[in-house]
Amino acid sequence: MSEEQRENLAEEVTDEDEDFITLEFDDGTAVDCFIIGVFDLNDKEYIALAPDDGTDDVYIYGYKDNDDDTFEILDIDDEDEFDAAVAELDKLMDAED
C-alpha cells in the first residue's frame, strides 16, 4: 500500500458500513475487510482485519485515530513489532474463546 493510499484511507466509517473497510493495494486490487478490532500494545494501537474473500487470513496494521471520525492504517515495517502484534492478537482471541 503506497503512502498516498494510506493517507487517503483516513476515511469516515459510515453507519451502514461500520464494521467493514476497503483496502486498496499498490497493484490496484481492492479487498473488503471486516474490522475484527483495535487493540493496544506497548503504547501503540493496531487494527486487525479479516478480508471478505473466503480465506482465514488476518491483516494487522498500525492504527491511528484522527479524532474526527476518521482513522489511518499504517504498515508495520519492523518484523519484531509485527510479530509482537500478532502474538498479542492471538492472546486476545484466545481469551475470548
Which three-class secondary structure state does DSSP give residue 20? strand
Q: Once rounded to an integer, what is the mean pLDDT over residues 61-80?
A: 92
Distances (CA, A) of 20 to 42, 43, 59, 94: 26, 25, 13, 23
Strand order through the sheet with 59-65? 11-12, 70-74, 59-65, 44-51, 30-41, 20-24
Q: Calculate ∠ Cα 46-47-53, nearest 5°.
A: 150
pLDDT in tens, 11-45: 433 334 458 899 988 899 999 999 999 999 999 99
What is the reported pTM? 0.77
What pLDDT, on the 0 to 100 scale, is given for residue 97?
A: 65
Domain coordinates in residue numbering, the chain: 3-96
pLDDT-derived band at 53 (thresholds 50, 70, 90) equals: confident
Q: Please indicate whether residue 16 or residue 73 has the higher confidence score (pLDDT).
A: 73
Smallest CA-to-CA distance from 50 within 75, 27, 32 is with 32
In this prediction, residue 13 carries a pLDDT of: 37
